[in-house]
Chain A
Amino acid sequence: MNLKVGDELPELVKHPTTRQLVQYAGAQGDFYEIHYDKDYAQSVGLPGVILHGLLKAAFLGQLVTDWLGDGGTLRAFEVSYRGIDQPGRPYRCRGKVTAANGANVDLEIWGEDPDGNRTTVGTATVEVKS
């Protein structure tokens, strides 16, 4: 892979639904009610059910592994959850190259809500094949 600083990853748009949150709750084993029980979510001050942070992390993981393909290996991956996201709203995953030193490439990655707010921000380090 011939990469340079500023290169953008092909964007990945996910369309989470409440059904997917239930599916994810089961697959991860995280049954915290804020992810599928609207009354409970509202009782703790949320506008409704919200996406699991780790589901958004999985979306950003897919952004990186789709782009990387067989061209390298994901070495590290870090995300901070800065805002909540609700099902029914598309989630846009984006990223760009911030450093490229030989095989080691650093990425800035983030997830945006439909209003353009970066509700998840992070970085990833990949090792690319020469």
Chain B
Amino acid sequence: MSTTTSVIDRLRARIGVDAPPTEAVVEAGHLKRFAEAIGDPNPRWLREAPPTFLVALAPVMLHLAEAEEYGKGWLNGGNRFEYLEPVRAGDRITATGHVADLYEKSGSSGSLLFIIFETAYTNQHGKLVARLRGTAIRR
């Protein structure tokens, strides 16, 4: 019980605090492999990122490894993407994320820990290209 409490306290202390940014170049080969993996044959995705591609560019859960002290498994509760600029092959994207909120809920099969995280993606011109909000659940 004390472990559970302390992990929640430690994660709560990080609410709103950005993790170190990660940077990655959108590679044409990666776009192709991603489009093949999702089974979307649209040739547009050979040069432009399909809607969910940014999650493949930088780890989605940048800073949540210690949350694994809680429960025994992860579930993805949901994702929200907001698009401001197109992302194309060759773009250099910087992803900056933080925990936005954290709460516990009791469900039918025990307690659940909800972690809301937000990531902002900017390109090599310093322009915000997309925002992602996600709900990760420990159970």
Contact = CB atoms under 8 A, between A and B. Distances in A.
Contacts of A59: 38-39
Contacts of A122: 78
B79 A54 contact: yes
* Most chain B C-beta atoms within 10 Å of own C-beta, residue among A20, A27, A59, A73: A27
A55 B83 CA distance: 18
Interface residues of B, number: 31
Contacts of B103: none
A53 B76 contact: yes
Contacts of B39: 14, 20, 59, 62
A79 interface: yes
A60 to B, nearest CB: 8
Nearest to A14: B39
B50 A61 contact: yes
A105 interface: no
A58 B38 contact: yes
Contacts of B36: 23, 27
A45 B75 CA distance: 12
A80 B51 CA distance: 16
A79 B73 contact: no
A27 B33 contact: yes
Contact of A34 (B30, B34, B52, B73): B73
A53 B36 CA distance: 17
A35 B135 CA distance: 18
A38 B42 CA distance: 32
A44 B82 contact: no
A1 B66 CA distance: 48
A29 interface: yes
Given A29-B59, A57-B52, A62-B50, A78 B37 contact: no
A11 to B, nearest CB: 15
A80 B77 contact: yes
Interface in B9-35: 30, 33-34
Given A14-B39, A28-B56, A77-B81, 18 more contacts: A26-B33, A27-B34, A27-B36, A44-B72, A52-B76, A53-B77, A53-B79, A57-B51, A58-B52, A59-B38, A62-B39, A62-B40, A65-B44, A75-B82, A76-B83, A77-B83, A78-B78, A122-B78
Interface of B: 30, 33-34, 36-40, 42, 44, 50-52, 55-56, 59-60, 72-83, 109, 135
